[in-house]
Structure 1
């Protein structure tokens, strides 16, 4: 007579134990890699604090404000991570990150300053000969192993992303009954917040560079592209179809989160502006509608119809894929802008309080004996958009680019009529 174990027999117990053993092996592998990379990370931080921060402070090669702009809170980060490393080497991962996460404000300060630090460093290397020579001498030390200062200064932001994945793996392979499970879960949340902050800062910086590039492409200062809350989406050539059957004219269009800018190329014979554009019209997207027009291009591309409160455009492209891309980009920008405007409008309605209290029925005089009262009206006119002055412009190749995650533009940044530039 053969014996087959039931659902709660030895086979089920063995399967559960095997799963736990797999979790433990994965956890041990992740923990070992975390400790090894943390040791290397702390060594690199020590190179920066010892051979740059401390020596520069002693020599006085850089002014204190410039030195702090470049290195920010990296010395405090080094101190915090040395304490974390001691816990990790002793196997106290939960306790180590539980004490590490309240100190993440040093990382927040650092990541918020990272782009400014890079800019100040470039300026000093260009203008300060003594600092340029000092940097080269320090980087030639064998301890640096051909690492450049620019690379070392990027390590804290990279390390935050690494912590996020290390902690996720440790948490997934730690039993909920383990006291470290809650500590590691809290650490995942805290580190993920800083990781998102780094990504948001990077997107904002990239967007600023794109706005500066477009501003530099436009001749003169009449057309202002740099504005608070404005996001670059894409650009490209489209042909304008006139109403009265004349020939189509190619125009350059720049799409932003709150407006569509139409421009024409300057004369190629111009001695200084041959590669630039002149802004012609800025169409606000707040009250715009866009739709495809079929049957007019014989399956070669198509037409887009854009309707504004005081204007209407017919735009044509012979490239079907490019036309579809424009349609999706315009539709998405308009939808986000109008959705945000609706949310703000409803919030204002909910927050609006009555102008007068309800009258008492016993003490209210008759309407014939009550003199007329002038009510205080609350103006609902939105604030005018404040355009930021042009910032330092960066040189970037003028090419078509898109931002995948375009944040929603505030409703105050759009107007309801076409602006003729």
Structure 2
């Protein structure tokens, strides 16, 4: 008679062990890939620091400020990652990333400079013949394997995203009882902060490119689109329905976080401006309200009513999807702007509110006690005046300095965003 073997150990012990074995296999696979890619990454960083940074410094082909603008903190990053690679090759993943986390400020510096680096490199490639020849000779070395300097300079940005995924996988497959678990968890948080910084910088850069594109679409320099704190949202054609019985006219609209810009296409007879638009009205969104006149049903398109302090707009679209998107975009922009304005208003009230103890009210000067409402009126007048400022002036860290510096160039833009002015 034969007997089948019973379960090994206590009930469910086999399943738990199988799960642990799967975690260990995943962890080992992730660890091997991390070590392999780190070795390759350090080799590529060494190419840049040896054949570009050091040799350019010795030859003097580029000025120091230009060289630092292009390569930023890549030499410091190379040094940090060489130390990390030693730990990874010895299997000390938690300890390695625990030591690299305080050095991530070198990556922050590099991340914040990457778009400037790309711009400066492009300028030098166009204007500096000696550097252009030097770059071509270095990239032709067999060590580079046909890699371009532009691609190598993007590697630290890409590596942060890779670290994020590697660390998340390692942490997910490491037991909480393992001494490395807390080290890896802390490293995930630190690397995710740098990754978020990269995403924020990318969004700001893309927004700046959109603002520049719209600015180039507009004829002349009277309509100012580039402004601090302004975000591009969308653009498109809408029919403007006049208040009196006239035909609706198609106009181009550009929606930003703080204003709606109406424009018309330039005459095709103007050869220099045939593909451009002429700005007509800039409507500020601070005190705007938007409502659907019709378009609530499944009919095609709809009619939007926009009410401003000094004007009213009726905008019609024959496409329902486009109409709904305009309504959602406008409503969202107005809501965000007004909520931000409320926060700034409340913050200024708190900053200006005097801090007094309970006994101070008995010791106030006679002039203040004789007219207790005077100071409150003055404060409210200041905050309401601040609330009426365009977002480009109050969103920055130092609004007064920004306003003085930008006053000569932006006087027409400020006038257009403070009221529904004809541009």
Q: What's the Cα RMSD here?
A: 3.1
Q: How many residues align?
A: 396
Conserved in 1, the CA contact under 8 Å of 2:262 and 2:281? yes
1:292 aligns with 2:292: yes
| 1:419 aligns with one of 407, 418, 421 | 421
Q: More deviation in 8-17 or 96-105?
A: 8-17
Whole-angstrom CA distance in 1 between matches of 2:360 and 2:24: 74
Whole-angstrom CA distance in 1 between matches of 2:64 and 2:296: 66
Residue 84 of structure 1 is matched in structure 2 by 84
Conserved in 1, the CA contact under 8 Å of 2:62 and 2:131? yes
Conserved in 2, the CA contact under 8 Å of 1:258 and 1:413? no
In the TM superposition, 1:254-273 aligns within 5 A as 254-273=254-273
Assess, with a 3 A threshold, how the Cα gap between structure 1 residues 355 and 168 changes in structure 2: closer, same or farther.
Answer: closer
The Cα shift of 1:360 comes to 8.2
SS of 1:246 mapped into structure 2 = coil
Conserved in 2, the CA contact under 8 Å of 1:287 and 1:416? no
Whole-angstrom CA distance in 1 between matches of 2:350 and 2:98: 41
1:382 aligns with 2:386: yes
Conserved in 2, the CA contact under 8 Å of 1:293 and 1:304? yes
1:205 aligns with 2:205: yes
* CA deviation vs aligned residue, 1:337-358 (integer Å, no higher than 9, x gap): 1222223333444555358766
Assess, with a 3 A threshold, how the Cα gap between structure 1 residues 305 and 17 changes in structure 2: closer, same or farther.
Answer: same
Q: More deviation in 123-132 or 342-351?
A: 342-351
Conserved in 1, the CA contact under 8 Å of 2:242 and 2:314? yes
Whole-angstrom CA distance in 2 between matches of 1:334 and 1:24: 52
Q: More deviation in 337-346 or 33-42?
A: 337-346
The Cα shift of 1:153 comes to 0.2
Whole-angstrom CA distance in 1 between matches of 2:28 and 2:187: 18
1:96 aligns with 2:60: no
What is the TM-score when the length of structure 1 is the normalising length? 0.86
* CA deviation vs aligned residue, 1:263-310 (integer Å, no higher than 9, x gap): 111111103111111111111111111122227999332111111111
Assess, with a 3 A threshold, how the Cα gap between structure 1 residues 141 and 299 changes in structure 2: closer, same or farther.
Answer: same
The Cα shift of 1:10 comes to 2.6
SS of 2:267 mapped into structure 1 = coil
In the TM superposition, 1:13-412 aligns within 5 A as 13-294=13-294, 299-354=299-354, 372=370, 375-376=374-375, 377-378=378-379, 379-380=382-383, 381-382=385-386, 384-385=389-390, 386=393
Whole-angstrom CA distance in 1 between matches of 2:85 and 2:37: 10
Assess, with a 3 A threshold, how the Cα gap between structure 1 residues 100 and 296 changes in structure 2: closer, same or farther.
Answer: closer
Whole-angstrom CA distance in 1 between matches of 2:123 and 2:12: 66
Conserved in 1, the CA contact under 8 Å of 2:415 and 2:421? no
Whole-angstrom CA distance in 1 between matches of 2:361 and 2:212: 64
Task: Flag the structure with more relative contact order, 1 or 2, with Cα contacts below 8 A and sequence separation at least 6.
Answer: 1
Conserved in 1, the CA contact under 8 Å of 2:266 and 2:277? yes
Assess, with a 3 A threshold, how the Cα gap between structure 1 residues 269 and 101 changes in structure 2: closer, same or farther.
Answer: same
Q: More deviation in 316-325 or 87-96?
A: 316-325
Q: More deviation in 346-355 or 131-140?
A: 346-355
SS of 2:305 mapped into structure 1 = strand
Whole-angstrom CA distance in 2 between matches of 1:263 and 1:354: 47
The Cα shift of 1:372 comes to 3.7
Conserved in 1, the CA contact under 8 Å of 2:49 and 2:75? yes
More helix by share: 2
What is the TM-score when the length of structure 2 is the normalising length? 0.86
The Cα shift of 1:113 comes to 0.4
Conserved in 2, the CA contact under 8 Å of 1:253 and 1:261? yes
1:12 aligns with 2:16: no
SS of 2:244 mapped into structure 1 = coil
Whole-angstrom CA distance in 1 between matches of 2:16 and 2:296: 66
Whole-angstrom CA distance in 1 between matches of 2:70 and 2:257: 33
Conserved in 1, the CA contact under 8 Å of 2:282 and 2:416? no
Residue 398 of structure 1 is matched in structure 2 by none
Assess, with a 3 A threshold, how the Cα gap between structure 1 residues 32 and 413 changes in structure 2: closer, same or farther.
Answer: farther
Conserved in 2, the CA contact under 8 Å of 1:218 and 1:276? yes
Conserved in 2, the CA contact under 8 Å of 1:227 and 1:389? no
Residue 400 of structure 2 is matched in structure 1 by none
Residue 406 of structure 1 is matched in structure 2 by none
